[in-house]
Amino acid sequence: MERLVDKVALISGAARGIGAAVAARLHGEGAKVVIGDVLDAEAKETAERIGEGALAVHLDVTQPAEWESAVSAALLEFGGLDVLVNNAGIVNFASIEDYSLEQWNTVLAVNLTGCFNGIKAAIPALKKSKSGSIINVSSIAGIRGYEQIPGYTASKFGVRGLSKSAALDLGRYGIRVNSIHPGVISTPMTAGMTLDMSHVAIGRMGHPGEVAGLILYLASDEASFVTGAEFVIDGGDTAGTVSVPGQS
Ligand code: NAD
């Protein structure tokens, strides 16, 4: 199947984890993909692994000028831009009592302002697309609160709100904007964390490829009437707590 033939996608934070899986999946459906990341060597390896039609560019999402360069690379190399996936993200931990202003500013700069910068840079190119789509990677921490990650939670709630506002402003240009809200996904971000998934309906972490499938749908013309919406992909985590009698 080729659900993204003739489309060009720019994915931030795509050197590894969910972003790399998204780049591979969109490419597999016919898209040309631009892989933007601060991890230059890993981004290049990911692009080489995907093959022809994948390009790695240096992109720090906190820097508007680097977003301009990434969009220009998509236009120069592949002739346009149809899909933007704001995926780059970081997390840091402390109770709100101990959480520093520096921690706050760092995580907000990448997760929320980075997303804003990406949208701003991509709008002129997406306006020229027949069917522009922006997918912002939030989290279930953008749906409900979590302890020890005040900045991350605030940033992901912010991404959800930004997505809705941008959807209203950009619909007139045929540009759709949606947010997605993964639960715990097995990636370098969660590697080393001890996470009990027994309370979750599906009972396990998600895989990056499962998130990529949802992003593929939102990137494609199959989602032509979908905008300003939020998509939870969490194995049932936010639906409630599973408690099986006899098991702990
Ligand atoms: P990851 O750490 O494996 O990948 C994140 C990527 O973003 C890395 O390649 C990193 O280099 C890049 N990045 C970090 N700062 C950047 C910057 N300033 N500019 C450009 N790139 C930058 O993490 P992941 O789990 O694949 O996370 C991807 C997205 O999914 C993030 O937004 C994250 O918050 C979100 N998310 C992850 C989970 C999870 O459980 N893994 C759950 C919900 C949401």
Q: How much distance in Å is there from the Cα of 115 to the middle of ligand 1?
A: 12
pLDDT for 247: 54
Q: Is 100 exposed, middle or buried (0-12, 13-18, 19+ CB in 10 A)?
A: exposed
Q: Which residue segment(s) compose the domain that 30 sits in?
A: 8-236
Closest CA to ligand 1's atom 44: 139
Residue 156 is assigned to a structural domain of this protein: yes
DSSP-derived letter for residue 110 is I
Residue 248 is assigned to a structural domain of this protein: no
Residue 1 is assigned to a structural domain of this protein: no
Is ligand 1 within 6 A of the CB of residue 139? yes
Residue reference for tokens 């032509």: 224
Pair of tokens at residue 107: 């995580």
Residue 52 is assigned to a structural domain of this protein: yes
Closest CA to ligand 1's atom 32: 89
Is ligand 1 within 6 A of the CB of residue 212? no
Q: Where are the alpha helices (DSSP H) in 55-194?
A: 64-78, 101-108, 114-128, 150-170
| Residues 169-203: tens digit of each pLDDT | 999 999 999 999 999 999 999 999 989 999 999 99
Q: Is 216 helix (H, G, I), strand (E, B) or coil?
A: helix
Predicted confidence band of residue 246 (pLDDT cuts 50, 70, 90) = low
Pair of tokens at residue 115: 């997303």
- For residues 210-214, average pLDDT: 98
| Residues 77-106: tens digit of each pLDDT | 999 999 999 999 999 999 999 999 999 999
The residue from 99, 146, 152, 173 that is catalytic is 152
Is ligand 1 within 6 A of the CB of residue 184? yes
Residue 81 is assigned to a structural domain of this protein: yes
Percent above pLDDT 90 for the chain: 96
Say yes or no to pLDDT of 245 above 70. Answer: no
Phi, psi of 180 (to 5 degrees): -120, 150
Is ligand 1 within 6 A of the CB of residue 226? no
Is ligand 1 within 6 A of the CB of residue 235? no
Residue 245 is assigned to a structural domain of this protein: no
Say yes or no to pLDDT of 224 above 60. Answer: yes
Predicted confidence band of residue 227 (pLDDT cuts 50, 70, 90) = very high
Q: CA–CA separation, 103 vs 148, rounded Å? A: 12
Closest CA to ligand 1's atom 12: 13
Q: How much distance in Å is there from the Cα of 8 to the middle of ligand 1?
A: 21
pLDDT for 244: 75
**Which residue from 10, 117, 186, 187 has its CB within 8 A of the most atoms of ligand 1, so it is best to mutate?**
187
Domain at 83, CATH number: 3.40.50.720
pLDDT for 228: 99
Residue 242 is assigned to a structural domain of this protein: no
Residue 38 is assigned to a structural domain of this protein: yes
Pair of tokens at residue 131: 């069917």
* 30, 3 contact by CB (below 8 A): yes
| Residues 98-148: tens digit of each pLDDT | 999 999 999 999 999 999 999 999 999 999 999 999 999 999 999 999 999
Structural domains in the chain (count): 1
Q: How much distance in Å is there from the Cα of 111 to the middle of ligand 1?
A: 9
